[in-house]
Amino acid sequence: MESLFSILGGAWSVFLIVLFFGGSIFVHELGHFLAARRRGVKVERFSIGFGPKIWGWRGKDGVEYRISWLPLGGYVALPQLADMAAIEGESETPAASLPPISYSTKVIVFAAGAFFNVLFAFLLASILSVVGQPTSEDLSTTRIGYVTKTVTLVDGTSVPSPAVEAGLQVGDIIRAIDDAPIADWPDLMQTLVTSAGVTLDGRRKAVFTIERDGRLHEVTVHPRLIGDEKVRKVGIVAAYTPIVAVVPADSYAQKLGLQAGDRLVELNGAPLLNLLALADVMQDKSRPAFTLGLERGGQRLTVPVPADRPADTPVLFGAGFRTAVGLVHHNPFKQISDHVRMTFRTLWSLLHPTSDIDVSKLSGPVGIGRVFWDASEAGIRYVLWIAVLVNINLAIFNLLPIPVLDGGHILFATIGKLRGRTLPPNFIMGAQSVFIVLLFSLIIYVSFFDVRRIVRDVKAESQAREAAEKAKSAEPTKP
């Protein structure tokens, strides 16, 4: 039965990937197609994917509709607008035999793909604004819940955490980084990762605007490159109120009197904003006694944890914990503006000479498919959120003034308009050929890192599962 559910879950994930990822590509090409038909431009082919066709048919309108083997995008063959034979195949109708197209028509047709992606994103964002976007307390906050004492660098060296060195404290609310306002924890992490500040002596730098005791302060932090992805981090974890989810029978949590639904709010009289603080006390070799303050049914209770607890007591008493979850209803304009800001921030960091972001940290079709897969396991709302982001990314990426992309075609048309005659066809074809090679090389390059990340994550999950099974088998059997 478990294997059946696994198969059905996998089939559902594949369906959502095809529907929303493939649908985003289809919507983009549909924009070009409809604009071209509206403006009287000849359309030869409408393809989802590149290369040889898998399946197709020719409509009564004379257009060949097809699905092709390489799922790296799609195209609408428009011989009057651009010679793209290198990736779209030879045109059946010589462009010279067709009437010329005006500059305005070229711009409208080439920009229509991005415009339709934005429309699609707005539609999905509108749905999300009604049904709500899932969030949890630790994701919706900018309050620091835990400050790590040390961090491990990419070479395995353990050093004091930048947060400790800068004096950041549990309870601080981060309002901005380098003057960029921070909305929530994912926004905080993305802003920090894409930051590019450096000191005169070459150290990485980020200026945090924090709120502490009702007053704003500016704190200069020196991030370090941490983790497999080698990104900027400072050693802080989001704040949340731990909620007891499960209290197994005969566990130490049960002996303490903890119950499902209890909210842990204090540790030794101080606010408890993250379970890592509790873990630190439990792992203290001096094994101190301490107290837990909790809320239960509107009442405040104090639970003493004695020093003479058993040596094999689990760090979290053997209980399961969760965070508060809920739905937020952001209007579609805010959702789209947030995604636009995030996309431009990433592009800016790619171009900035002191940034630690390079193209290896981007995601190609493989990585995007994996993101959709993970989102599908979390729920349809997450899939909608990812689909909005993907469509905004597609719109912005395709409007970049790079040959082969829609923005490149608009650039060539604009240059031709300004100089009073079109650019030489050989020049355009040469530029497009070079950038076709570069574009596909980039896709292959980022896909390599996508696959490497997937393999690494699967390996880590497998090791964690094996460790859990080993620990479970090592537990003494009760009579």
Report phi then psi at 296, rounded to 5: -140, 115
State the Cα–Cα distance between residues 479 and 477, nearest whole angstrom.
6
In the chain, what percentage of residues exceed pLDDT 90? Answer: 67
Please tell me the number of Cα atoms within 13 Å of 210 on its side-chain side.
20
Span(s) in the chain for CATH 2.30.42.10: 134-237+323-328, 243-320
CATH code matching the domain that covers 134-237+323-328, chosen among 2.30.42.10, 3.90.1200.10, 3.40.640.10, 3.40.50.720:
2.30.42.10
pLDDT at 138 over 70: yes
Q: Grade residue 412 by pLDDT with cuts at 50, 70 and 90.
A: very high
Among 54-63, 329-338, 413-422, whose mean pLDDT is lowest? 54-63
Among 45-49, 278-282, 471-475, whose mean pLDDT is lowest? 471-475
Collapsing DSSP to helix, strand or coil, 146 comes out as strand
How much is the pLDDT for 478? 44
pLDDT at 477 over 70: no
pLDDT tens per residue, range 35-76: 999 999 999 989 988 778 888 889 888 889 998 887 767 888
Helix 406-419 × helix 103-131 angle, to 10°: 150
pLDDT at 131 over 50: yes
How many Å is the Cα radius of gyration of the chain?
28
pLDDT tens per residue, range 162-202: 999 999 999 999 999 999 999 999 999 999 999 999 999 99
pLDDT at 411 over 80: yes
pLDDT at 94 over 90: no
How much is the pLDDT for 409? 92
- pTM of the predicted structure, to 2 decimals: 0.87
Q: Grade residue 264 by pLDDT with cuts at 50, 70 and 90.
A: very high
How much is the pLDDT for 349? 95
How much is the pLDDT for 71? 72
How much is the pLDDT for 479? 43
141 contacts 324 by C-beta, under 8 angstroms: no
How much is the pLDDT for 344? 95
β strands within 105-185, DSSP E: 133-136, 144-147, 150-152, 158-160, 173-177, 180-181
Q: Grade residue 22 by pLDDT with cuts at 50, 70 and 90.
A: confident
Q: What's the CATH class of domain 243-320?
A: mainly beta
How much is the pLDDT for 471? 57
How much is the pLDDT for 475? 53
Mean pLDDT along residues 145-162: 94
Mean pLDDT along residues 73-84: 79
